[in-house]
Structure 1
Amino acid sequence: MPARKIPGAAVRRTPRSVMTNKKMSLEGRRILIVEDDYLQATMLRRRIERAGGTVVGPAWSRAAGLLLVDGEPFDGAVLDAELADGSAEPIATLLATRGVPFVVVAANDREYLPPALREARYMGKPVDHGDLLAMVADSLRERAR
């Protein structure tokens, strides 16, 4: 019997991660998370681990993020643009200087971000974690070329 459509019910779309699972593998990759929202960081950590990656962090502040950038090896990063102790711009600048790919997530439109964040791969909040992981995987593949 076909599924019955219920008026007013939310339609659940298939996340990009399900459609492109092979492209999303983070097997053996270490991903830095800089995110001050516990729930978002936890959900992202789980998705990265399910995709075969290892999480560095998460860093809950700019200061902690800067320490991890200098102290831990990693292949890529996800940065929340605005942290409790300020912009993630100094972290983005360090990552760009070192050639480490990163994705910026922000509640603001891209045009309002500082230059180091504006030029990076960007995803607006609220974030679909499957799409975000696909973007991270794409950035790692581009770096490998």
Structure 2
Amino acid sequence: MRGWRILVAEDDYFAADELVQALERAGAEIIGPAADLRQANQLARSGAIDAAILDVNLMGQLSFPVADTLAEHGVPFLFATGYDPAIVPYAYRDVPCFTKPVATHAIVAAMAATRSLQAAH
């Protein structure tokens, strides 16, 4: 994942910190972490990211507008949520969704797989 810029949108400080550390160990450059919808959307629109991890609920607001922005720009992403994964809209049914608490190694592996798939295309 060396050199890959990954947006982390997570409002829980400890969860964000754990993700950031794991992704950095894998060689990624972290964009954020963004703790609220406004900041996450701003970073998603910057065009300076290669992938993203989105907490479904950012400070009481659903992150699906950020997912929309990422999808429009062809940026792969995955969801992490403490809610039932059924909360994710049907349009994103094929996007990986991890239920919290999630092991960071599982998210890092999913990001690495996403990178491998993109490299193949």
Aligned twin of 1:4: none
In 2, Cα distance between the equivalents of 1:116 and 1:92? 10
Gaps of 5+ in 2: none
In 2, Cα distance between the equivalents of 1:41 and 1:75? 18
Select 2:38's aligned residue among 63, 72, 79. Answer: 63
Amino acid at match of 1:89: F
Give the TM-score of the pair, scaled to structure 1: 0.77
In 2, Cα distance between the equivalents of 1:64 and 1:140? 24
Compute the displacement of 1:117 (Å).
Answer: 4.5
* Pairing 1:134–2:93 present: no
In 2, Cα distance between the equivalents of 1:37 and 1:98? 26
Compute the displacement of 1:115 (Å).
Answer: 3.3
Select 1:41's aligned residue among 1, 6, 16. Answer: 16
Deviation digits for residues 45-93 of structure 1, max 9, x if unmatched? 1111111111000000011101111225011000000111400000001
The answer (yes or no) to whether the contact 1:34–1:59 under 8 Å persists in 2 is yes
Are the structure 2 counterparts of residues 61 and 68 from structure 1 closer, same or farther at C-alpha, using a change threshold of 3 Å?
same
Gaps of 5+ in 1: 1-25
* Pairing 1:120–2:84 present: no
Structure with bigger gyration radius = 1
Aligned twin of 1:15: none
The answer (yes or no) to whether the contact 2:45–2:69 under 8 Å persists in 1 is no
Amino acid at match of 1:51: A
Give the TM-score of the pair, scaled to structure 2: 0.92
Residues matched between the structures, number:
120
The answer (yes or no) to whether the contact 1:89–1:116 under 8 Å persists in 2 is no
User: Per the alignment, in what secondary structure is the counterpart of residue 11 of structure 2?
Assistant: coil
Are the structure 2 counterparts of residues 69 and 34 from structure 1 closer, same or farther at C-alpha, using a change threshold of 3 Å?
same
